Amino acid sequence: MTNNPFNLASVFALYLDGERQASEATVKGYENDLKMMRRFLVTNHRWAGWLQINMQDIQVYLTHLNDLRRQWTTINRELASLRTFYNFLLTNDLVNNNPFEEVKVKTHARNLPRYFYSSEMNALFNAADGDGKPLDFRNRAIIELLYATGMRVSECAQLKLSQIQWDVQLILVHGKGDKERYVPFGNYAKDALHKYMTECREILMDKYHTDHDIMFINSHGRPITSEGIEYILNQIVKRSSLNTHIHPHMLRHSFATAMLNNGADIRSVQELLGHSSLSTTQIYTHVTQENLQKTYMQLFPRAKATKENEK
């Protein structure tokens, strides 16, 4: 291994090509990211070789990238290249630490999940009832179950009768990555499912001579798809009084928000949603905090009152 700091980028490229068997495009991408930083430091008379890079050099370079109005995703990708390069140097005992290890660019704020208020959910339930035709019972059962459990639409589409424990009102959900979790469901969902079974599922499966264990079916008695559920929800919204669009995940968001607003702890909600990371669930706390603040400002008598008003 050469110790010449000016040749280290070339040696790194050979390592990527030979030992890691990276594609030609990947190698060129790494080389380009290194060249860009080196060129900037040379131009600004800060270049002393890769082994002499310090935090001040990095901060100046990041300021430069920000001035160029680079997207944060692009900057983070370039930082990842530089971080990998210095890990390579660290592995070969050419540096004592990786100066890019803790360098991160703040990402854009995550959009808060859109959810339905209780009044909006009631409007959806009413619209799902339709004219009392067999498929209307299915539609009501789907929307009741999605809201009652926070299941993903794919989990709902793949739900089997054998996963439901009617006596204790629990469902064994097969989630992402073959992970399983139990979720309870309430009486509204239970009643809707029973009505669907007798008033729709059994009738259509007898009519079309189908026999399978999938809970929800299409109009021909075959297992429904995720796309089919999305279509059903869109038709429900069109029949409702709501002036909005719907995505199945909005019912999942509504479930999580309702749970937290009514006092559930975030760990329990994480388990019910099947989130592997608590950070994924924590976005809902922003929604509930926003709701809490609105409630406070509307209802607490001294929230908006001033001393002048009290005189």
- Active site members: 152, 176, 249, 252, 275, 284
Pairwise CA distance, residues 250 & 287, whole Å = 13
SS3 182: strand
CA distance 155 to 157: 6
203 is written with which tokens? 């009738």
Please choose, from the candidates 13, 76, 18, the residue with its C-alpha nearest in 3D space to the C-alpha of residue 50. 13
DSSP secondary structure string for all residues of 42-95: HHTT----GGG--HHHHHHHHHHHHHTT--HHHHHHHHHHHHHHHHHHHHTTS-
DSSP at 173: E
The answer to whether the CB of 253 falls within 8 A of the CB of 272 is no
- For 136, 144, 165, the CA distances from 127, given in Å and listed in that order, are 9, 12, 28
